[in-house]
Amino acid sequence: MRSPRETSGRLATAILSAVLVFGLAPAQQRKLPPDYEKKRAAIAGFEAGVIPLFVLGDLNEDGRVDEQDLKLLRAYAAQKSAAGISCLAAADLDENRVIDEKDAAILEQILKQGEVAAPALSSRAGMGCDYKNFFIAARPGAPTGGTVPIHFLDPRFNTQNSSVSVVAGPATVSKQGDEFLVFVTGRGSAAPNTTVTVAITLPGPRKYFYTFLVFPQPGVR
């Protein structure tokens, strides 16, 4: 009989498999992302539902959200050309699972202030992503009273040299060994579209924002 941790690890691996394979865009389905097996193994022991995050707007996954990403996004919106794009999911700025001129307009507006200093992280990878910057994993949401664990996938980052803090929403953060736990506070059902945003600061310094959905507890109306 498998232990709960073994079961959770198998579920996490299955979820990553779905994200990396079935979530690939049609043009990417003929190949697996680089280091696929290594990445799958990296989250095998995590809690069920934990998946890798990607930088929203960083289409070429060079660690920056800049004019080069806007150029790639415009080309895809106009001609459906995926040349130079390794994370198509990062192009879906409004997260409606459609990449079009609206997404290009959003990124253009964002970049009017210059290169993005603190990009947003996302877990909605239905359109495929190679995860070249494979550095953080988390759950995409939690019910009230639940937790969203945040794990570091890059050995350069840990709970000693990095931090997680709540920016908005009903939550608190604690440090648990080699991970951070975001606890969703409150009781009963969550209001529609309730979200929590946390700031994740890494050495460098590098700062990211991660927003996830708070959903009602099972059976609570």
The answer to whether the CB of 132 falls within 8 A of the CB of 140 is no
Every domain of the chain with CATH number 1.10.1330.10 lies at 1-134
**Structure-token pair, residue 216:** 């009602």
With a cut of 50, say whether residue 53 has pLDDT above it. yes
Whole-angstrom distance, CA of residue 132 vs CA of residue 89? 13
CATH 2.60.40 in the chain, residues? 143-215
pLDDT in tens, 133-148: 999 999 999 999 999 9
User: 88-115, pLDDT tens digit by residue?
Assistant: 999 999 988 899 999 999 999 999 988 8
- Considering the domain 1-134 in this protein, what is its CATH number? 1.10.1330.10
Is residue 27's pLDDT more than 80?
no
Query: Which CATH number applies to 143-215: 3.30.43, 2.40.128, 2.40.50, 2.60.40?
Result: 2.60.40
Greater confidence (20 vs 155) lies with: 155
pLDDT (tens digit per residue) in 171-220: 999 999 999 999 999 876 667 679 999 999 999 889 999 999 998 776 55
Q: Which of 9, 35, 6, 10 is nearest to 20 (CA)?
A: 35
Rounded to two decimals, the pTM is: 0.83
Q: If pLDDT is split at 50, 70 and 90, which confidence band does 22 have?
A: very low
Q: How far apart are CA 118 and CA 65, in angstroms?
A: 9
Query: What span, in angstroms and rounded, lies between the C-alpha atoms of 135 and 157?
Result: 8
Long-range contacts of 15-19 (CB under 8 A, 24+ apart): 15/48, 15/49, 15/50, 15/51, 16/40, 16/43, 16/51, 16/52, 19/51, 19/52, 19/125, 19/129
Can you say whether the dihedral through the CA atoms of 186, 193, 8, 124 is positive or negative? negative
